[in-house]
Structure 1
Amino acid sequence: MMFDVYTPLLVSLLLPLVGPVIGRRVAPALAARVLTSAAVLTAAATTWSLILLTTALVGDAPPVIREARAAGRHLADPVPEVIGVAACLALAVVVRRVQRAVRAERRTRRALRRLCEGHPRDVELVVAASEVPQAFAIPGRPGRILVTSAMLSALAPAERRVLLAHERAHLTHRHGRLVTAATLAEAANPLLGPVRATVSFLVERWADEQAASVVGDRVTTARALARAALNAGRVRRSCALSFTDRAVTRRIAALQTAPPPHLWSAAAAVLALGALAALFAADATSDLVGLLWNALT
């Protein structure tokens, strides 16, 4: 336990360094999935490691430990007490951050769903009369695409097809779940903030590639994105799946090149990194259980 329990923290430092590289060189669909999975595994492992580290605060409290030491057995503390105190405080912060993230996610979902109230459930596209050019996907059952009249007026017919295909890709592939999972992982482990940002960018790139495939023209897709971004200006975003959000310049540049390949070996390496954190956390748990078992026997 002495070393294994700290390994998830090391992975938390490595994953943000690897994430942007994978995001640039691996197909967005694959990269978004593996980075989200690795982030969730790492966040879960680090949280569990904090729980294990808090056992240093237990000291002689459990009767089985107290009795074993009274009988003359030498049972070393798993970790120094000061580390246990720090872990306990960190765990309290993690719980608070996750609670706040969950509440914020629920508030955002409710606010977005209210925008579509009054429309039949079988209506996917909702057009809002507004002078503010915006378009975004609203996850849920059913999923909706909300587009303002100003945004539709700003785009040519072919570009409107791009916009709708982009937002439909968000709904079809449930990008909202990936972003939510990455957001909760960041809440549990702030070191994963860059990974969350990369996942948010990748789901937009993924939707861009889907739109380009549907329309059959990468140039038109890039032009639609550029025109929408110019018209949107600095409008405040209200949804993570907004058409003109997330590094528009980089997305336009990516559409002017060939789609990135599916580098399965690189994706597997990233996923293995997250699995490694979980395995070491499990090994640390096994060591702690072994310590208690020795006290019993």
Structure 2
Amino acid sequence: MMFTSFVPLIGAVALAPMIAAFHRRVTPRLAAHILTATLLLVALAALPSVWIVGLGFVGHLPFIGHLLGWCASAVGLDEPISPLVGVPAVATTVLGSVRMAQVLASYRRMCASRWSPVEVTPEHVPVAYTLPGSAGRVVVSTGLVSMLAGNELDVVLAHERAHGVHRHDRMVLVARLSQAALPVLRPLSDRLLFTLERWADEEAVTAAGGDRRFVARTIAKVALQVSVPVSALAIAGLGVPARVDALLRPPVVYRSSVLLRTIWLAIAVTAVMASYQLHHLAAFVSALCPG
């Protein structure tokens, strides 16, 4: 049981970088969906492994094991687990739960409760971001408005509106929660956040009539001045130099190819590994609720 508990974790974490490595070779929109699906599946495959091992370790401790021993037996962990494995599993579970609660609290706190196309705040500091939530409210400061020409402000607003229209905040929440639960997923989470900014950049290009160089210059100009609140989506977000470089190149054209088939195959394998854990969770739930 011990080895099989870690098979999905090892396999999923190994497959994730391979999937992520191809994210710049497809359109940002497609890449964002691929990376979101990958994060969800990797988390589903990996987290039960950590929880089960942590539960098995606690269930065999001398002083409190008698309270949780039935849990360990329910998932097939009848033998004591080494502290070298058990302690990190318990720490990851506890700390991850705390971090996930903080992410959710921050998300709820930042959510826009009322719809408003654009909110202009009386701040001299340049600010531009989109609040999470169905309202998708865009916030800009008077400092930003004063430093931009009219067509440059249109680019900023088009970028920020894209975040709200396509509900990028949901994908950001997946990225933040995955990273909070399993810090090893941070590289994959950062790739998703970068890709969401690229998606919004391409939407801004469309709004600007296809002028990629103008959008690139505007993003570079704004990024030098704008600060971004935590949990918000903003034009000055992750990876500005790489985003500007991408805008100065021709747009990526979607083509069905061996590359995409390989990506989907890797995602399918990750999904199988995730589903493998469901029978462990089902056994635990059955023991918890025998009726």
TM norm. shorter chain > 0.5: yes
* Contact kept in structure 2, 1:8 and 1:49, CA below 8 Å: yes
Distance 1:213 1:131, change over 3 A: same
Deviation string 1:152-197 (CA, Å, 9 cap, x unpaired) is 2222222211111111110111111101112111222221111111
After TM superposition, the structure 1 = structure 2 runs for residues 51-66 of structure 1, keeping only pairs within 5 Å, are 51-53=51-53, 54-55=55-56
Aligned-residue offset at 1:285? 6.5
**In the aligned structure 2, how far is the partner of 1:38 from the partner of 1:181?**
10
- Name the structure 1 match of 2:252: 260
Q: In the alignment, is residue 276 of structure 1 matched against residue 269 of structure 2?
A: no
Q: TM-score, normalised by structure 1?
A: 0.78
Secondary structure of the corresponding residue to residue 225 of structure 1: helix
Q: 1:181 aligns with which of 174, 180, 186?
A: 174
Distance 1:104 1:265, change over 3 A: same
* Contact kept in structure 1, 2:129 and 2:233, CA below 8 Å: yes
Aligned-residue offset at 1:111? 4.9
* Contact kept in structure 2, 1:41 and 1:275, CA below 8 Å: yes
**In the aligned structure 2, how far is the partner of 1:275 from the partner of 1:143?**
31
Secondary structure of the corresponding residue to residue 225 of structure 2: helix
After TM superposition, the structure 1 = structure 2 runs for residues 126-141 of structure 1, keeping only pairs within 5 Å, are 126-141=119-134
Aligned-residue offset at 1:135? 0.4
The structure showing larger relative contact order (alpha-carbon pairs under 8 Å, at least 6 residues apart) is: 1
Distance 1:2 1:108, change over 3 A: closer
Distance 1:240 1:18, change over 3 A: farther
**In the aligned structure 2, how far is the partner of 1:238 from the partner of 1:51?**
28
For 2:95, the aligned partner's letter is R
- Name the structure 2 match of 1:155: 148
- Name the structure 2 match of 1:222: 216
Q: 2:239 aligns with which of 241, 247, 269?
A: 247
How many residue pairs get matched?
268
For 1:256, the aligned partner's letter is L
**In the aligned structure 1, how far is the partner of 2:228 from the partner of 2:58?**
46
CA-based RMSD: 3.0
- Name the structure 1 match of 2:33: 33
**In the aligned structure 1, how far is the partner of 2:275 from the partner of 2:82?**
22
Secondary structure of the corresponding residue to residue 81 of structure 2: helix
Aligned-residue offset at 1:80? 5.2
**In the aligned structure 1, how far is the partner of 2:35 from the partner of 2:101?**
20
Aligned-residue offset at 1:238? 3.5
Aligned-residue offset at 1:246? 0.6
The 10-residue stretch of structure 1 (150-159 or 99-108) with the greater mean CA deviation from structure 2: 99-108
After TM superposition, the structure 1 = structure 2 runs for residues 88-167 of structure 1, keeping only pairs within 5 Å, are 90-107=89-106, 109-111=108-110, 113=112, 121-167=114-160
- Name the structure 1 match of 2:9: 9
Secondary structure of the corresponding residue to residue 126 of structure 2: coil
**Structure whose alpha-carbon radius of gyration is higher:** 1
For 1:226, the aligned partner's letter is A
List alignment gaps of at least 5 residues for structure 2. 61-65
Q: 1:194 aligns with which of 187, 196, 205?
A: 187
Aligned-residue offset at 1:56? 6.6
For 1:154, the aligned partner's letter is M
- Name the structure 1 match of 2:47: 47
The 10-residue stretch of structure 1 (260-269 or 121-130) with the greater mean CA deviation from structure 2: 260-269
**In the aligned structure 1, how far is the partner of 2:14 from the partner of 2:232?**
25
Distance 1:204 1:278, change over 3 A: same
**In the aligned structure 1, how far is the partner of 2:173 from the partner of 2:9?**
22
For 2:92, the aligned partner's letter is V
